[in-house]
Amino acid sequence: MTCRSAFLTNSAVVSDLFPAKDFDHWAATYDVQVALAGGFPFEGYAAVLNKILAEADPRPGMRVLDLGTGTGNLAVKFAAAGCEPWCVDFSLLMLLQAKEKLPGARCFLANLHNPLPLSAGKRFDCIVSAYTFHHFDLAEKVELVRGLLHRFLMRCGRLVIGDIAFADRKAQEKTREMLGESWEEEFYWIAADAVPALQSAGLVVRYLPVSFCGGVFTIWERLD
């Protein structure tokens, strides 16, 4: 039995600007690097995770879907609060790190560009994600969020996303200029653009900045 066979997978092949192998190489050192990191892109990393937890309002017995779980740092917090974490990542080696921390968690090897390998009708009290959605452009973000809320979230549940985020384009440009050649171009959240786009899709959104390059979006469906 290979390690890969220990996880349910979605097997479709997609073109991806951020291949899983890049994150496989990072798995062994990820926790140390984010713990020691200062400045862009992980300024406020621990505070972002804690804010996701607070916004999710965890309670014992809640079923929580963690998208892009990585090494399981966010899922561990929900498990400690008595929740039942379901962990999804597209890097096998990252997911194995998460499984070591959370032996009882359900883990799924999946790329979010593809349908999630979850049984039909499976619903979660809360869906969370940390440092994953900046791999999708704004249109993809909105489409993915709408699909997740419609297919996997309990009524009155919420989706909480913490990620690399800037208040507006001016704030992003300031950071780009500061970093110079060290800047890496990805689909970072611009709250001034993302919040209206999500609202136009019929969603309620609350954005909470945490650091100059990190913030948390809490999203739910309008029920009126």
4 contacts 117 by C-beta, under 8 angstroms: no
Q: What is the mean pLDDT of residues 99-125?
A: 91
**pLDDT tens digits along 171-186:** 999 999 999 999 999 9
Select from 107, 162, 108 the least CA-distant residue to 132. 162
Q: What is the mean pLDDT of residues 127-149?
A: 97
Query: What single-letter DSSP state applies at residue 78?
Result: H
Query: What single-letter DSSP state applies at residue 39?
Result: S
Give the tokens for residue 48. 């972002």
pTM for this predicted structure: 0.91
Q: What is the mean pLDDT of residues 113-126?
A: 88
197 contacts 134 by C-beta, under 8 angstroms: no
Model confidence at 15, pLDDT cuts 50, 70, 90, reads: very low
Percent of the chain with pLDDT strictly greater than 90: 79
pLDDT exceeds 60 at position 21: yes
Give the tokens for residue 203. 């969603």
What Rg value do the Cα atoms of the chain yield, rounded? 17
pLDDT exceeds 80 at position 194: yes
How would you write 117-185 as a 3-class SS string? Answer: CCCCCCCEEEEEEECCHHHCCHHHHHHHHHHHHHHHEEEEEEEEEEEEEECCHHHHHHHHHHHHHHCCC
58 contacts 67 by C-beta, under 8 angstroms: no
Q: What's the chain's length in residues?
A: 224
End-to-end Cα distance, the chain: 50
Select from 73, 23, 24, 30 the least CA-distant residue to 52. 73
Q: Which CATH number fits domain 38-221: 3.30.710.10, 3.40.50.150, 3.40.50.1370, 3.40.1190.20?
A: 3.40.50.150
Q: What is the mean pLDDT of residues 149-155?
A: 94
Between CA 101 and CA 99 the distance in angstroms is: 5
Model confidence at 10, pLDDT cuts 50, 70, 90, reads: low
pLDDT exceeds 70 at position 4: no
**pLDDT tens digits along 62-85:** 999 999 999 999 999 999 999 999
Q: What is the mean pLDDT of residues 153-165?
A: 96
Residue type for 192, please? A
- In the chain, where the domains are located: 38-221
Model confidence at 8, pLDDT cuts 50, 70, 90, reads: low
201 contacts 146 by C-beta, under 8 angstroms: yes
Say what the pLDDT of residue 22 is.
Answer: 82
Q: What is the mean pLDDT of residues 18-37?
A: 86
Between CA 151 and CA 16 the distance in angstroms is: 23
